[in-house]
Amino acid sequence: MEFVKKLSNKKLVLLAMAGLIIVGLIWICSPSDSSEPELVIVEDTLVAYPGRTISYKDKFRDAQAKQVRAAKAIGLKTPPQNRQEAAKMRSQLSLIKSNDNYVVDSLTHSIPYLVPAAAKELERIGEGFAEILQRNGLPHYRFHVTSILRTKDDVKHLQKSGNVNATSQSCHCYGTTFDLAYFRFDKVSRTREYMHQDNLKLVLGQVLLNEQRAGRIYVKYEYKQACFHITVRE
């Protein structure tokens, strides 16, 4: 009788444990009350900026020598040799972070700092890009910032990697210069409408053309690196 009683107790324990396991599995598999089903947006409507096509190579050909002169005039007086020297200069620089209008890439050969004048110009370009899209009823996108402040060591590493645009007299070393990719854009608007990258390139190009004509920037169209190379002038 005692044996039967012990056996029954063991069965009860096992049944209780099995019940807890089942309840746990149900809780894990059940969706949380606070979670919402993921909304999948099917992009099926191609829209375009109605601006006129421009010749990027003809419009954006400000020479390297011209950009270096501007960089030396308003940028860091002494280009940093390495990242340690650059860190000591941060009081002279503005930190550049991703925002609603552009994305700062994971930088490998530069660091996210610019002199205040260049940081202000980057903000102006981002706002101009967003304004054109909004004014024309187009989806909101962000462009990518691919290179910012380089040290002399960064330039040497780029040269060793075979980057033909990495010159010893680099504007990037003065904190006045940044590169914007023209084939990479992130969509922010959750709509069915979408834009082709060539058309977004046109929008960005129009903004840069406006800033160039206003005398605020120099721009070089870098075909092999797929970017606009921009140096602030004032």
Q: Give the mean pLDDT of the chain.
A: 87
Residue 32 banded pLDDT, cuts 50, 70, 90: very low
Write out the two tokens for 149. Answer: 């402040």
- Between the alpha carbon of residue 61 and those of residues 10, 129, 228, the distances in Å are 85, 21, 10
Residue-wise pLDDT for 175-215, tens only, equals: 999 999 999 999 999 999 999 999 999 999 999 999 999 99
pTM for this predicted structure: 0.81
Report the distance separating Cα 121 and Cα 79, nearest Å.
20
Beta strands in the chain (DSSP E): 45-46, 94-95, 102-104, 113-114, 141-147, 177-187, 193-194, 217-222, 227-232
Q: In the predicted model, is pLDDT for residue 161 greater than 90?
A: no
Residue-wise pLDDT for 66-85, tens only, equals: 999 999 999 999 999 999 99
Residue type (1 letter), 154: D
Q: In the predicted model, is pLDDT for residue 102 greater than 70?
A: yes
The pLDDT value recorded for residue 2 is: 47
What is the set of domains in the chain, with CATH numbers?
A: 45-232 (3.30.1380)
